[in-house]
Amino acid sequence: MHYARIPHEYWRDRLKRARAMGLNTISVYVFWNFHESQPGEFDFSGQADVAEFVRLAQEEDLYVILRPGPYACAEWDFGGYPSWLLKEKDMVYRSKDARFLQYCERYIKALGEQLAPLTINNGGNILMVQVENEYGSYDADKEYLAALRDMIKEAGFNVPLFTCDGGGQVEAGHIDGALPTLNGVFSEDIFKIIDKYHPGGPYFVAEFYPAWFDVWGQYHSTVDYKRPAEQLDWMLAHGVSVSMYMFHGGTNFWYTNGANTAGGYRPQPTSYDYDAPLGEWGNCYPKYHAFREVIQKYLPEGTVLPDVPADNPTTSFATIELKESAPLSAAFHQATQSENVLSMEDLGVDFGYIHYQTTINKAGK
């Protein structure tokens, strides 16, 4: 569940619904570009107040697993990296490039100032912190991972660290000093893979996929709840910890929706409903109730889940007719002249639109 994809006003509502389904922990990405859209200028207020989200989770009897990246993926623009990184043409991001690591350290230190006081060892509810994200699918640079691991510890996160990877990428993606966890792995393979790197566990599927994301131009992705409910039942019966990706997807507001490139360019739409148990506007799909029934079987004796909150009211609005228009000169107030085409990053723009204009002085073929 990602606070950036849920209107601030609904954070507590969604957390209550998570607790009522039987969850005891919320796993949450932090998107670097959501907090440092311009170099050295951090925003942790309002919609970006991640510390408030964590505190609300504690008030709702939920722990938090923090996933600060710095690379997140999550079908989010640039995987969570701020666009200004691209201005440094010879810098290699997601590597041990000294300048890149310097920027990572500044971000992680700022995040630590907000959240390190909220770890469970400091009286808060942050249980674990993830190092990078599925790095084994990208590279196998242990020095880079070690640098990030050390930054997170130095920022004050005094809880267990972990990495997450697909079953075939753990060798490349794990790092000493962080627990290996798995994404998209099921059955006895969970134990076989983890035991290679951390005998005896803990066994944690950090991303269990009860559904999938949408892609522009394709039908809404849906997955029937029956098979995922059986898989969840099996993992809980065998003592495997499970994090659902996603429990609640939410919405890609502004211009934050990203894209995947496996199988060609596959951009994400505004909706991040994900066919998750809890739908985009907080609606409970049948999957929610099926999962709740499964989880109730494994609760400590005497534990009673909160009642599922009533559905939030929905409404409609009258048809809007657009009757007015304006010239581009009224919409774009700042002009830059250049001999060459400039990218958005060159102009210090992270999201939005740029209007390019040129004059052709002679006819061409």
Catalytic residue among 113, 134, 171, 339: 134
Token pair for residue 331?
Answer: 């919409």
Please answer whether residues 57 and 26 qualify as being in contact, where contact means their C-beta atoms are separated by less than 8 angstroms: yes
Q: Is residue 143 annotated as a catalytic residue, yes or no?
A: no
CA distance linking residue 81 with residue 84, whole number of Å: 9
Please answer whether residues 347 and 338 qualify as being in contact, where contact means their C-beta atoms are separated by less than 8 angstroms: no
Query: How far is residue 210 from each of residues 187, 235, 292, measured CA to CA in Å?
Result: 15, 13, 13
Catalytic residue among 207, 280, 301, 345: 207
Assign residue 274 a region: left if phi > 0, alpha if psi is -120 to 50, beta otherwise?
A: left
CA distance linking residue 350 with residue 300, whole number of Å: 48
Please answer whether residues 243 and 206 qualify as being in contact, where contact means their C-beta atoms are separated by less than 8 angstroms: yes
Instruction: Name the pairing type of β-strands 266-267 and 259-260.
Output: antiparallel
Q: Is residue 207 annotated as a catalytic residue, yes or no?
A: yes
List residues with catalytic annotation: 134, 207
